[in-house]
Structure formats: C-alpha cells, structure tokens
Amino acid sequence: MKRLPYPKTMIGILVLFLILLALQAALKSSSTPTVVSSEKKTDTETAVLDPTFKEDKRVYDRHDGNKLEHVYVTVFDQASVPENDLTLFDLNESYKQYSNLESGPKLFIHFETGDAEGPDGIHWLDDQTVNATIQLRGRSSRLEPQKSYKIRLQDSAGLWYGQSVLNLNKHADDRTRVRNRLAFSYYEMLDDISSLRTNFVQLHVRDMTNPAVADEFVDYGLFTHVEQLNEDGLAARGLNPDGHLYKAENFEFHRYPDALKLKSDPDYDKKTFESVLKINGSDNHEELLTMLDDLNDLSQPFDKVFDKYFDEDNYLTWLGTNILFGNYDTMSTNYYLYSPLNSEKWYFMPWDFDKALGRDTERTDPMPSWQRGIQRYWGTVLHRRYLKDPKNVAALQAKVEELTETINPETTKQLIDGFYPVVEPVVTSEPDLRFLDIEATAYEPSFRKLETITTMYEEEFLLSLEKPMPIFLQYAREKEKDVFRWDASYDLQNDELTYHFELSRTPDFTSLIAEQNDMTTFAYEMSALDPGRYYWRVTVTDAEGNEQIPFDYYRDNDRKLHWGIQQIVIPGEAS
C-alpha cells in the first residue's frame, strides 16, 4: 500500500531536493541563455509566452484512477483538540449557517491511508497527532443527506499522490457515481484542454465527537476525489502557476462593474468579487477586466476581440465536450478560466460533471429542450457573440464531429467496464445503498445507459441548430399600464420569427386573461392588472415551425419547476 512520508523520510527528501535545486541553479548559470528572437530587445520589451495551450499529459501516465483508495480519518473531540469546539454532526449541519462553505467551520483530524482491512501499519507519529483539517464542500451537494468533504493536509501528513487537498465528492444525485471520472478520463485523451486526476475513494471515519463510535472506523461509502486545480496543479501540467485562475461561480462574461473591480479600487470587496468569480490565482484583475471591457464593447469587431483573448481550439473543445456530455450546469458555473503570466489569452479548464452524462434524464422534473443543445449557452455574452457568425457555428459542428472520433459508445464502454467492478460493490452496500434512489437490481441497467448517452446528446445538438434561441422576459408597471417585454430571439438560419404572448392566472395556462399570436414586436401592454398572482410566457416560432421557450422559470410551493414561465405578483392582496 502507498504510505505517507513522515518526518524522518521528509528530512531526507528535503535534503535531496535542496541538493538537486543547487545543481539545477549551477547548470543554469553555466549554460548559454535561450535565444528568444533574432532581433535585439529593448529594456521595455518583455517575452511573450507561446499562446498555445498545451497540457503535459504525462501527469496521467502513472495515475491509476480505477484503483479503490482507502482513506482513514480520525475526528478529534474537544478534550483531545481544544479547537474542535463542535461535533462532526454539527459540521454536517453547518451548511444551514454558511452558504459559502469555504469560510465555514472545520475540524482538526488525523489523516492516514490504508486498505479495506484498516489503516497502514507503522507510523513515526502518534495516531493522535493532528495532521489535517476537514470541512464541508459543494454548493448543491451540501443539501444532500450524505455530505461531501474537503480535507487539507498539513506538512506533517506529507502529500497524497502529490496533492495537499482532497476533494471528496459524494455525488449523491449521480446514481452511477462515475460521471466525473468518465468525463475527466476523456479529457486525458484530448488535446487543447486539460483534465484533472480523479480517484475512487472509500472513506472510513472514527468520530471521537460521538462517544457511541469513538473507538471504531465507520464506513462512509464511496467518494470521488477530484484533483484541486491550484498552483501545484498547474505546475504539474507544465502550465505557468503564477498566472490568473478564476472559477466561475455565477459568470456569463458580462462586465459586472458593481462586483468585479481592481484590488486597488476603494470599493473592492473580495467576497462580492468571488460571488461572480472565485480567485484561485493572481489577484491582479487588470487583465480580466480589460478582456471583459473589450468583449462587452459591441463597437469592436468580435473576431478581433476573440482572436486576441481566446484560443479557438481550446474554446471549441471545451464547448463541444460539454455539448456531448450534456453538461447542463455550465452556463454560468463549473469551469475555470486560466491566463498564463505574460499572455493575454484566456483558456477554459473543465470542472464538475456530476450533472452531465445523463443526469438530466433521471430527473423527476423534465428539463427544457434548450438545455440539451446549443441554446443553453445563448445567455452568455461570449458564446452568443461567437455563435452569431455562421462560420463559427460550422466550426463548432466540425469540432463536435472530430470529438466523436474519441468520445463514442465504444470508448465509453471500455472506460466504464473498468469502473464497474470498483464502484458497484460499494454503491450497492451500506451506507450508500440506504440513499440510492433506485433498487440495487436496477443499478447495472442504469449504469450501462452511459454507453450511448453521448450519441443522444450529439443528435440533440444537431436538432438544436434548427431551433430559435431562448429569450428573457421582463415585466414592469409603467404609470397606469402593465408592460410585458422580451428579447428578440435569433435563428441560425435567419428564418423569420414570430412571438406568441400568453397571460394567465394559473401556471398551466388553461384559462387565459390575454393572448396575442404571430407578433413581430417585442412588447405587449395592457391596462393595469388587479392585485393578485399572474403567470406569463412567450413562445418563439420560426418559419419552419420550430418552437422555443424563454430561459425564465417558476418554482411552485411544491418545488416543481415550470419552464419558460415568469410569475408576477401585483401587490394589494395576500399572495
């Protein structure tokens, strides 16, 4: 089994590292500098990096993501560690007080590896020594009964496969439990984009804060570890670790002037900034804001702006894979933007696929058709401007076709055949079986649906090219009038578009208060409505009869989603 390096080993490693570092410096000082250009550089000129995005794929050569790793965690009580002033149960409940789990509470723990029989044998340190912390992670998963965790290793714990942070994702709403592993396995095979090392992990917890289980390790079931993308992760891939790295939290490439500010701005607020983009690299935001200023300046030719700031192969690979994976959670979140130092280019890097690869087909509330094709990206400035050019749509089609040479049922079957014997015994046993949303006998048939899922999304992408683009709805009371407005839709074939307006007292629109069909304008106004609750929608239709609904949705008191509908409440009576 893999053992963690403990102090005596660490000292030897450190000495060897320093010797190698000194030798490297000596060799550098004695070697001839690399010639960057045949022209003489002035003092004010700086070297510019090759804009090509090239991940060093050798980082995956010795990585066996199909091996089931066993992680053992001892959570100390307050008697052992005074700083642990809450229980593990309290930690699991802390999502109720902390929407940002990164700033939420943590517990000090002892981390160790092992096998199915227990932790590894010999330790130079006492088992009771703190060497890590644990806290909750995940935005939507924090509401699940089985939590996901982030473990941060201290220096005394060494590294776990070269990493100091473990992201243990429960993926409770992924009944296959392999969607992230499958997606990142594919990214390992693709050029122009990065991947992340993923592992299947069985977590065992000894919870000293609970006297009933203080002396035993309890099986917490299967997790997927996804490598943390940070400076170490960039360096491991041969990428510049000192550049800009942002994780999209609620970002659609608008300028967001009230949130995205320079750090030197007196009104700069990191928390507000990170509600849009989480900062994982440099906090010098000048290059980001310059790119967004130019992108949102409609007077500038888009092709010129795009070529300056983005790499088309990287962009199309990211967009094409998310289309083939049916990843409906990438409109404004769940991806990284990376710009190396000394480069104006911005590159897309993938993150989180538990809501991809068929997750939408398992939902009890059906997803709208625009989630399964090109339309889901229309609300984002960058994608909308790019896709308005027919030659760019053709480039995306060509990229998707190229990607299917790798991403196809045959390759998927080969990959998941390696996953199944690892995950199935754990998922269909306690404790995961207790929370599985299907019968254990249905697990394999559900799992095997992954084989053809990318073919389904490819077909739906091609169909989506024929449909108009979704729109946003806006309602306003203006003097004695109620005014309903909507965006102009767009059709990739330039077909003529018409709009069908409907207003009702109920979200099923069985009884209409107002209706107008075959509109070519983008507003409807009427006398002020009486106080109460109303629902309205606009359906877009092209000349070939293809229809589209708005991006808007309404969620009722039973948590049911009504897609393409906006609810409005006119004050004056109890709603």
Question: Which one, of 115, 108, 180, lies nearest residue 325 by Cα?
Answer: 180
- Rounded distance, CA 346 to CA 312, Å? 10
* Cα 350 from chain centre: 7
Q: Is 285 exposed, middle or buried (0-12, 13-18, 19+ CB in 10 A)?
A: buried
The ranges assigned to domains in the chain are 57-170+195-231, 239-403, 473-570
- Rounded distance, CA 108 to CA 86, Å? 11
Beta bridge partners, 553, equal 563
For the record, the structure tokens of 465 come out as 């090219």
Evaluate whether 546 touches 468 at the Cβ level (below 8 Å).
yes
For the record, the structure tokens of 560 come out as 């049911």
CATH superfamily label, 473-570: Immunoglobulins (2.60.40.10)
In a structure prediction context, what are the per-residue pLDDT tens digits for the chain, which is 575 residues long? 333 333 434 444 444 444 455 545 444 444 433 333 333 333 333 344 445 578 999 999 989 999 999 999 999 999 999 999 999 999 998 876 766 666 689 999 999 999 999 998 644 444 579 999 999 987 766 778 899 999 999 998 999 988 999 999 998 889 999 999 999 999 999 999 999 999 999 999 999 999 999 999 999 999 999 999 999 899 999 999 999 999 999 999 999 999 999 999 999 999 999 999 999 999 999 999 999 999 999 999 999 999 999 999 999 999 999 999 999 888 899 999 999 988 999 999 999 998 899 988 887 778 888 888 899 999 999 999 999 999 999 999 999 999 999 999 999 999 999 999 999 999 999 999 999 989 999 999 999 999 999 999 999 999 999 999 999 999 999 988 999 999 999 999 999 999 999 999 999 999 999 999 999 999 999 999 999 999 999 999 999 999 999 999 999 988 889 999 999 999 885 44
